[in-house]
Amino acid sequence: MIHHDKASPETLAVHAGVDEYEYRPVVPPICQTSTFSFANAEEGAALFAGEEQGYIYSRMGNPTVEALENCIAALEGGYRALACGSGMAAIHTTLISLLEAGDHLISSDAVYGPTCTLIDTVLPRCGIESTSVDTSDFSAIEQAFQPNTKVVYIETPGNPTLVIADLEAVCRLAHERGALVVVDNTFMSPILQQPFRWGVDVVVHSLTKFLNGHADVVGGAIVVKDEARYTAFRKILNHLGGVLPPFESFLVHRGIKTLALRMKQHSANAQKVAEFLEGHPAVEWVRYPGLKSHPQYEVAQKQMSGPGGMISFGLKGGIEAGRKMMNAVKLCTLAVSLGGVETLIQHPASMTHASMGPEARRRAHITDGLVRISTGIENADEIIADLEQALTLATAKSAPRSALGCRSNPPTPANVQPSEP
Ligand SMILES: Cc1ncc(COP(=O)(O)O)c(C=O)c1O
């Protein structure tokens, strides 16, 4: 067994959560069961009363899920983790656990679309109000505080603008005002950013992305720092019901074993791609935490141990150029989501956010030419070559459609999902 306090993230990713099991398998076995039998009525009563430790029913706890939870908690440097059925289930469970009617929440204005919808349309039905601000702007956060502000919710880097909040400064301010700080650490993973080091109170993840890393699971996680919060969150998660099943837990736990290697490669590839894009004449701007041109480059250097795999850039030529580029890529896969081993590309204005009007897109920081890339672990030069040929076709004047290398089924309004970046 490893000593969690002494082990590095690379070692924890491989070993944390792996216990000793019957038959001594090296990998935690999949305990694919909905329920667990009791030896007798007395044991059942003791388990329900919390007088004995053990498993009762898989919504309340399962050994395969717990192995994953222990691994994630160790990587984040937290007390315990709770695996959830999706990133959104983790965010929902967290906010409902921390807030009640009459409370106020401050959130980053650049957050994942459905998180924004949850905060703007679902939480008000529970009597919870919110203010969204640019959380890279300290004074904007300060001004948004109200006497009833209980939580500051931060996504850093934010989706899709990659805006970065100074976690240390935000935590100091929030704690002075009696509020807690929750951070969505999906874009970084605990390999590149450990929010608890800066004073953050709760960390949430979409496991669907870098932690699993293989685009074959939807899942989420919450990480907390103490027993009291763990018990309170576990109770709410049990009642809301958005838990992760054992097989998905097994897959994510397996994915995490290569997390440190993958994050290194995502970062190295994305750095090369971002530098290529910054020098390309068809590109108006590039936002990437590893470029000195990023407005919060210094903050990124302080709190992140690598720039990560996510890049946003602005294409000259707006919506039409974006559409052409999406139809021209060959190696890069045209798809939503992020954090897998394969490079994914998407153009929100013509795809995920096409049904929003231009004004709503502007408020969500989605400019017409904005393209988002989740850089995979393929050969960086081959990713760049693909982007280069796609940029050439996208910006070519009146090229015949057959020359654009169009896919047979370009995205149509019927097969895109509005507001799902
Ligand atoms: C930053 C971020 N947080 C949360 C989520 C939601 O995760 P899930 O799709 O697993 O519910 C996403 C999804 O893209 C995301 O990008």
For 184-225, what is each residue's pLDDT tens digit?
999 999 999 999 999 999 999 999 999 999 999 999 999 999
Global pTM reads: 0.93
Lowest-pLDDT range, 11-15, 107-111, 412-416?
A: 412-416
In angstroms, what is the span from residue 113 Cα to ligand 1's centroid? 9
Q: In this predicted structure, what is the pLDDT of residue 14?
A: 96
Return the CA Rg of the chain. 22
Q: In this predicted structure, what is the pLDDT of residue 351?
A: 82
Q: In this predicted structure, what is the pLDDT of residue 401?
A: 45
The residue contributing the CA closest to ligand 1 atom 15 is 112
Q: What is the mean pLDDT of residues 88-111?
A: 96
Residue 186 CA, closest ligand 1 atom number: 1
Q: What SS3 state is found at 329?
A: coil
* Residues 6 or more apart whose Cβ sits within 8 Å of residue 322: 315, 347, 349, 350, 368, 369, 370, 371, 394
Q: What is the mean pLDDT of residues 226-240?
A: 98
Q: How confident is the model at residue 1 (pLDDT cuts 50, 70, 90)?
A: low
Closest CA to 211 of 182, 190, 183, 184: 190
| pLDDT above 60: residue 400 | no
Structure token digits, residue 30:
């999949």
Lowest-pLDDT range, 135-139, 170-174, 315-319, 357-361?
A: 357-361
| pLDDT above 90: residue 246 | yes
Distance between CA atoms of residues 315 and 278, nearest Å: 11
Distance between CA atoms of residues 126 and 45, nearest Å: 35
Work out the angle between the directed axes of helices 380-395 and 318-328 (0-180°, nearest 10): 130
Q: Give exposure, 141-158, as e/b (b: 16+ Cβ within 10 Å).
A: beebbeeebbbbbbbbbb
Distance between CA atoms of residues 414 and 6, nearest Å: 52
Distance between CA atoms of residues 371 and 88, nearest Å: 23
In angstroms, what is the span from residue 345 Cα to ligand 1's centroid? 16
* Residues 6 or more apart whose Cβ sits within 8 Å of residue 195: 76, 167, 183, 185, 203
In angstroms, what is the span from residue 222 Cα to ligand 1's centroid? 13
Q: In this predicted structure, what is the pLDDT of residue 403?
A: 41
Q: Which position has the token pair 């896969």?
A: 333
Q: In this predicted structure, what is the pLDDT of residue 5?
A: 72
* Residues 6 or more apart whose Cβ sits within 8 Å of residue 98: 150, 151, 180, 182, 202
Work out the angle between the directed axes of helices 63-76 and 246-256 (0-180°, nearest 10): 30
Work out the angle between the directed axes of helices 227-240 and 87-98 (0-180°, nearest 10): 120
The residue contributing the CA closest to ligand 1 atom 14 is 337
Distance between CA atoms of residues 19 and 21, nearest Å: 6
In angstroms, what is the span from residue 204 Cα to ligand 1's centroid? 10
Share of the chain above pLDDT 90, in %: 84
Residue 114 CA, closest ligand 1 atom number: 6
In angstroms, what is the span from residue 420 Cα to ligand 1's centroid? 9
Average pLDDT, the chain: 92
Residue 91 CA, closest ligand 1 atom number: 4
Read off the pLDDT of residues 324-346 as tens digits, 9 standing for 90 and up: 999 999 999 999 999 999 999 99
Q: What is the mean pLDDT of residues 254-281?
A: 98
In angstroms, what is the span from residue 184 Cα to ligand 1's centroid? 9
Q: What is the mean pLDDT of residues 251-275?
A: 98
Q: In this predicted structure, what is the pLDDT of residue 398?
A: 56
Share of the chain above pLDDT 70, in %: 93
**Lateral strand order in the sheet of 149-155:** 80-84, 220-224, 202-206, 180-184, 149-155, 104-108, 129-133
Q: In this predicted structure, what is the pLDDT of residue 3?
A: 67
Q: In this predicted structure, what is the pLDDT of residue 333?
A: 98
Q: In this predicted structure, what is the pLDDT of residue 176?
A: 98
Lowest-pLDDT range, 29-38, 256-265, 405-414?
A: 405-414
The residue contributing the CA closest to ligand 1 atom 8 is 87
The distance from CA 42 to its chain's CA centroid, rounded to whole angstroms, is 43
Ligand 1 mutation pick, 107, 159, 243, max ligand atoms within 8 A of CB: 159
Distance between CA atoms of residues 270 and 375, nearest Å: 6
The residue contributing the CA closest to ligand 1 atom 9 is 87
Lowest-pLDDT range, 47-56, 180-189, 342-351, 396-405?
A: 396-405
Q: In this predicted structure, what is the pLDDT of residue 396?
A: 85
Read off the pLDDT of residues 121-168 as tens digits, 9 standing for 90 and up: 999 999 999 999 999 999 999 999 999 999 999 999 998 889 999 999
Q: What is the mean pLDDT of residues 82-110?
A: 97
Structure token digits, residue 207:
């496991």
| pLDDT above 80: residue 407 | no
Catalytically annotated residues: 59, 112, 184, 209
Ligand 1 mutation pick, 186, 189, 310, 337, max ligand atoms within 8 A of CB: 186
The residue contributing the CA closest to ligand 1 atom 16 is 112
Q: In this predicted structure, what is the pLDDT of residue 399?
A: 45
Task: Check if the beta carbon of residue 100 is closer than 8 Å to that of residue 239.
Answer: no
The residue contributing the CA closest to ligand 1 atom 10 is 87
Cβ < 6 Å from ligand 1: which residues? 86-88, 112, 155, 159, 184, 186-187, 206, 208, 218, 220, 337
For residues 47, 53, 58 and 60, what is the CA-based torsion angle, rounded to 10 degrees? 80
